[in-house]
Chain A
């Protein structure tokens, strides 16, 4: 077991979760979770399957409601705001299942990403070309149905869609799961570039070691609680063995 390292003090956090307890019905999923995301950094949440990582992301976006504890986002407490309001405040969410709207075209899916901007789709009709720079394949497939894309293409579409909402905090849930290696590299590069160029913060849930190592800090989760955290550079082989399915 890795000794608990004290988290380096960052001046500003985009998100601070403290003492979160979340239940599915009567089963206790998250236990007293504390997690902080500094501005402009990528933080990685690791842990084996079923420990509560996705539950944590769903609580941040508001699909699940905590029973106790607080989530403070940009120094404001997110109480019972529904997900669409949190999205408008700048939280972008890329789910594990990618959740592309299947019978809408790629263009419409991208436009939906701008629902999080003031005025929504009605005021924002132009798709910023930087998403085509990041993922050139999307521009070719604009008029295809989202559901007809391959898994990797859907993943790129999901990230592009989230980025068009100009989020301040991007939640990525296992973006490389079940995706061919060449596209994994594309996605990693894209996420790196986004962080450098736009200065947004990213919370990454990931099993893929190479991607994990690109984050600045890590949190390791076990049975719904954070059991280890620190700078990713200090991530030892023992921790990796324990928390990643390598």
Chain B
């Protein structure tokens, strides 16, 4: 029974991470109708930010190192949020109302990000900075008649291509200087984040069952953050604006709500939540470039099951998914009930891998949607029927 209970806690903590990530995804989808396939990679960025913060604080030792995780939480939120805002302003904004193109573009971004963390080195960063600066400067100092010419947009493309080629040359020349420039920072292998001591042990016990600090911490963190998001969306001025734009974009615009700022802020918050989820994941396992892909599918499942814009549904769905994965997927049922009949045993064994537990979840979702096509808690009332 102890085993089941500890697996239950595992499931809840995985569910808590899913809840954070899925909430971010759902807020963005609800507001802008954008399905962000790069959401998982935002989680990965959050995880890598945590790794970097850890490495900065490690040499300091003592109390500074013990508290790094709190700083990493804040940093991972801020970095991914800024990243999300930049992405929204430069790319996603141009694709509004074109869901298929957005889907492809965000998928492309996720691939770029995965390769970026694999191969990022000092040389690469310098090259990208040169490209960005050169591209910007070429646009800026273009003579006015050329800027207004009918072929201006093609010219822009050519200029950016030139800047890109210069950037590539810069990368290859700086990389050839020495290993200091060409060594990848992270590389393709998995990295480990050491949780600080106060998270490692157990935090007391209930009825003889020990409470692992990391699991409890993640569950509490997720609960606090979700409460903060709910407060922000329901009570703050920007929250009312976000909800208004979500429900009626044109009218909100006509009332004087700056819809473009609302979009940026929402995308930033959604991305930031993914970053925090990524920071929490570092406590559960190692950090790798492919971290995002394994979570994004679960996030979508949570949203389908719980319904978009439905907090209670999202909470229940993410916890359910986490628990199914950890109790059935880990095969702990076999150990907890060693004397179950053979026929049942083979069925449980069949599903006792991570991928087979996904299959089980999918079967469940498909069956569930036959009976409740709009999710667990569909919205009711006059405005839905209209």
- Interface of A toward B, CB cutoff 8 Å: 61, 63, 82-84, 87-88, 93, 95, 99, 101-104, 108, 111-113, 115-117, 120-122, 145-148, 161, 165
Contacts and interface: CB of A to CB of B under 8 A. Distances in A.
A147 B381 contact: yes
A82 B382 CA distance: 31
B382 A148 contact: yes
A101 B244 contact: yes
B12 to A, nearest CB: 30
The main secondary structure of chain A at its interface with chain B is helix
Nearest to A115: B256
Contacts of A112: 240-241, 244, 252, 255, 257
28 contacts: A61-B254, A63-B250, A83-B253, A83-B254, A84-B258, A84-B259, A95-B254, A99-B251, A101-B244, A101-B247, A101-B252, A102-B247, A103-B243, A103-B379, A103-B383, A104-B240, A104-B243, A112-B257, A115-B241, A115-B256, A115-B257, A116-B255, A116-B256, A120-B256, A121-B240, A121-B241, A145-B381, A145-B383
A63 B249 CA distance: 11
B60 interface: no
In order of increasing CB-CB distance, the 10 nearest A-B pairs are A147-B383, A102-B383, A116-B256, A87-B256, A99-B251, A115-B256, A83-B253, A122-B237, A93-B254, A83-B254
Which of A61, A101, A147 lies at the interface centre, i.e. has the most chain B CB atoms within 10 A of its CB?
A101
Contacts of B251: 95, 99, 101
B255 A147 contact: no
A88 B247 contact: no
B248 interface: yes
A130 B22 CA distance: 44
A113 B260 CA distance: 18
Interface residues of B, number: 23
A87 B254 contact: yes
A99 B383 contact: no
Interface in B206-252: 237, 240-241, 243-244, 247-248, 250-252
Given A82-B260, A95-B254, 10 more contacts: A61-B254, A84-B257, A87-B253, A101-B252, A102-B386, A103-B243, A112-B241, A115-B241, A115-B256, A146-B383
Contacts of A115: 241, 255-257
Nearest to A162: B255
Contacts of B255: 84, 87, 112-113, 115-116, 161, 165
Contact of A147 (B252, B253, B258, B382): B382
Contacts of B258: 84
B244 A104 contact: yes
Nearest to B236: A122
Contact of B240 (A95, A108, A148): A108
Contacts of A116: 255-256
Nearest to A116: B256
A18 to B, nearest CB: 23
Contacts of B252: 101, 112
